[in-house]
Amino acid sequence: MRTTTLILLVAAMLAGCGGAAKPKPVPDVRGERLDVAEARLDARGLQWEEIGGGVFGVVVRSHWYVDDQIPRPGKKATTVRLVVERNCDDRDCD
């Protein structure tokens, strides 16, 4: 009984260690290569996910560009959704 109580106590303490990620200001990564944008977000402690990528998905990250992002630059978030395009045409890309 004592061992079970100790295990439950340790499990409860460890469950609270992760905590929720704190929202941080989102940088403007529109127009950047996907690999560069992901590195910038990683450096700021932000998670990211890609939207798009075609039939086969994103294989070579440096061949894709961020066309748009959610949320917009300057907003606070924990995760940024990156809308990717294969080519950086005449939209927001530089």
Query: Tens of pLDDT along 11-64?
Result: 555 555 566 789 999 999 999 999 999 999 999 999 999 999 888 888 899 999
pTM: 0.71
Q: Are 44 and 22 in contact (CB under 8 A)?
A: no
Domains and CATH numbers, the chain: 21-94 (3.30.10.20)
β partners of residue 53 = none
Q: Which residue has the higher pLDDT, 8 or 52?
A: 52
Rounded to an integer, what distance in angstroms lies between the CA atom of residue 88 and that of residue 36? 14
**Angle value at C-alpha 35, between 56 and 30, nearest 5 degrees:** 95
What pLDDT does residue 55 have?
84
